[in-house]
Amino acid sequence: MINKDSSFQKLHNINRRMFIIVAAKVVVFTGIVGRLFTLQINESKKYLTLSDKNRIREWKLPPERGEFYDYFGKLIAGNQKVYQLHLDPEQVEDFKTLSTRLKNILELSDDEFSTILKKKNETKPWETLIISENLSWKQFAKVNNYLHELSGVKPVLSISRYYPYKENLTHIIGYVNQANTDDLENNEQIKNKFVPGLKVGKTGLEKTFENELIGTNSIQRYEVNAYGKRISQLEFQKGDKGKNIKLTIDTDIQNLCNQLLANKAGSISVMNIFSGEIIAMHSSPSFDPNLFLFGINQDDWQLIRNNPLKPLVNKTISGQYSPGSTIKPIVALSALENNVIDKNFKVFCKGKIESYGQTYHCWKKEGHGSVDLKEAMKQSCDTYFYEISRLLGVDRLSVTAKKFGLGNKILESLFNNEQSGLIPSTQWKKNSLGKNWLLGETMITGIGQGYIQTTPLQLCLMTAQIANGGYKIKPKIVVNTDKQNLSLENFEPLYKNQKNIKFIQEIMFSSVNEIRGTSYSSRINDTKYQFAGKTGTAQVKRITKLDRELDLDTAEIPYEERDHALYIAFGPYKSPQYAMSIIIEHGGSGSSAAAPLAKELFKAVIDKHEMREKFKEKNHLDI
């Protein structure tokens, strides 16, 4: 017989268990519903974002760099599209296998493959590795076809610099290359806009105007599948291109300068004597900046670096040379301005002069006889200038030379490699060398030898300010779109008596256009092209007694011992507009090596003058 109490107890236990199970189910179900509510409602934004991060990829592209144009609007530093291949190391499971696969797909050589492995070792684990900066279209298309099996690989359409005029403008424009640690540390703009493969200015105006040229990044957003392969572009946010910069340079004249200096080491500068616009500024030899865009190879780099003519040096603003006889117009002007002599002052030249036991030679052994200032300038008589320098003194000469732009940086804010040269004085020697100035040093300074050092661009500025009547101008290489009043009344005069400047202009004209003038053979009879000038020959080594006796031709002297050839000029003489300076390193005589180049160059410059003026007027009207 079944006990009722026992049956009731069993039923109670069953009901209690059922209640617990149901209650547990309710709790679990409530928890699940609550969690689903939290995930789908409260935290929907969070998980939507995480989902999008898996589904959407964002690429920040290199900013589009501003371009350089010459005076007439010709592109001289532009942009071109390039195909690149980037790799995200954090998404790569087996780098060795992936790199081998890429080698086969891209058909890379062993050297190119080794370069990739070297880059990998030099790149930090979280940094993007650039496999190639300049793929061909065939390589770019091929790698896209295999992208589903190349985890971490990212084909990129980018923009890179190119220089259509190659070596002709390198020392002005400079070149770009990949941003390095120094660039990131020293420039906040570069740091903020940095992406792998970003190119920034390394030298020249590319570096100077980096912040204006760099532009802003474009942004690409893509939808990708589970393998990371792009399915579709969702958004493209175009960045702003950097500022375009227009230069005063005329590429036609610049190209001619390059041709005239072919196979020579030297410099040519051409300047407008009123506006200070630099028409041409070429240093030779030069090099092709395009070689540096994607990393220069060792062979090309060694050829450039080891070239004895030093193509890496911007001789126009960094080269420091004794000016030789090109300083004589300033010596004569200083002597006239300080009333040390007048234009009729005469000296008898016997081919040399003695002073305190020292002999100072004139370039003409037999001497020039009795010469006044005009004849002395025309024939470049050293004896005459020894004498007037002695009477003038180096300190007064120093003041005049500095007024006319010698011994000072001219484009300092634009080129950090510009040199100031040296215009000596008694105080300079005392401070720098701790010695007193000697009279003989004054005499050799008067013919452009000794301590005095100038840059070719300084000589061009000096000549321009003589040519414009003795007024101070500020050279520039970047076009100023503001209208300018170029009336000489608005310029600072550099003279005490303008008649003295006028006389210097006249005797420089006689040096070119009258018989016995040192550059008479380079004259142009057509008044449209006639110019005034002054030759210079700067010694690079002391001339010994044996050297004078041998009297060797330039071709018979070892190259590195030959004199530098210099020439300064302005024209057209009747209505001057342009000044120029020319230097040929180890070229020998200024009259034979440098002056003939001026003859050819003036024709081209003056023929372009009317076109330049019309273009300038039109440009001003459009502002």
The pLDDT of residue 94 is 75
Residue 442 corresponds to which tokens in the numbers above? 């004054």
pLDDT bucket at 621, cuts 50 / 70 / 90: very low
Q: Which pLDDT band holds residue 44 (cuts at 50, 70, 90)? A: low
Number of helices (H) and strands (E), helices first, in the chain? 25, 19
Distance CA(4)–CA(23), nearest Å, equals 28
Residue 589 identity = S
Tell me which residue of 522, 543, 526, 540 sits closest to 591, measured CA to CA: 522
Residues 500-527 have a mean pLDDT of 97
- Other C-beta atoms lying within 10 Å of the C-beta of residue 85: 23
5, pLDDT greater than 70: no
Higher per-residue confidence, 426 vs 59: 426
Q: What is the band of 49 on the pLDDT scale with cuts at 50, 70, 90?
A: low
Is-contact 72 250, C-beta < 8 A? yes
Q: Is the pLDDT of residue 51 over 60?
A: no
Residue 450 DSSP SS3: coil
Count other C-beta atoms under 10 Å from residue 397's C-beta. Answer: 27
| Confidence at residue 421, expressed as pLDDT on a 0 to 100 scale | 96
* Predicted confidence (pLDDT) per residue in 402-446, tens digit: 999 999 999 978 999 999 999 999 999 999 999 999 999 999 999
Q: pLDDT tens for residues 557-602?
A: 887 889 999 999 999 999 999 999 999 999 999 999 999 999 999 9
Cβ contact 180:202 at 8 Å? no
pLDDT value at 276 more than 90: yes
Which has the minimum average pLDDT: 109-113, 162-166, 275-279, 456-460?
109-113
pLDDT tens digit sequence for 522-535: 999 999 999 999 99
Instruction: Please report which confidence band the pLDDT of residue 481 belongs to, taking 50, 70 and 90 as the band edges.
Output: low
Tokens representing 25 are 């189910």
Q: Name the pLDDT band for 1 (thresholds 50, 70, 90).
A: very low
Q: How many CA atoms lie within 13 A of 6 on its CB side?
A: 3
Confidence of residue 356 (pLDDT cuts 50, 70, 90): confident
Q: CB of 492 within 8 A of CB of 293? A: no
Whole-prediction pTM: 0.86
pLDDT per residue as tens digits for the range 142-152:
788 777 777 77
The pLDDT value given to residue 160: 87
Three-class SS state of 408:
coil
| 540/285: higher pLDDT | 285
Q: At what angle do helices 609-621 and 595-607 cross, to 10 degrees?
A: 40
C-alpha to C-alpha distance for 508 and 374, rounded to whole angstroms: 8
Average pLDDT over residues 22-45: 70
Instruction: Enumerate residues 6+ apart whose C-beta is below 8 A from 469.
Output: 488, 498, 501, 502
More confident residue, 65 or 147: 65
Q: Tokens 């484009």: give the residue.
A: 411
Structure confidence by residue, pLDDT tens digits, 541-565: 776 655 655 566 666 788 788 999 9
What whole-number distance in Å separates Cα of residue 287 and Cα of residue 280?
17
Q: Rounded to whole angstroms, how far apart are CA atoms 491 and 96?
A: 69
* C-beta separation of 352 from 361 below 8 A: yes
* 53 or 352, greater pLDDT: 352
Each residue of 446-474: b (16+ CB within 10 Å) or e? bbbbbbbbbbbbbbbbbbbbbbbbbbebe
Handedness of CA 183, 184, 187, 193 (dihedral sign): positive
Rounded to whole angstroms, the Cα distance separating 277 from 460 reads 12
pLDDT in tens, 83-94: 888 877 767 777
Give the residue among 144, 113, 105 at the shortest CA–CA distance from 131: 113
Tell me: pLDDT of 207 over 80: yes
SS3 call for 565: strand
Torsion from C-alpha of 55, 56, 57, 61, nearest 10 degrees = 160
Dihedrals phi, psi of 129, to nearest 5 degrees: -100, 125
pLDDT at 72: 95
pLDDT of residue 623 exceeding 50? no
486-515 mean pLDDT: 91
pLDDT reported for residue 622: 39
| Alpha-carbon distances, residue 210 vs 96, 165, 186, 194, 384 (angstroms) | 38, 21, 12, 13, 51
Q: State yes or no: pLDDT of 4 exceeds 60.
A: no
Q: What mean pLDDT is predicted for residues 455-480?
A: 96
Contact 214, 193 (CB under 8 A): yes
Average pLDDT, stretch 51-65? 71
Mean of all residue pLDDT scores within the chain: 87
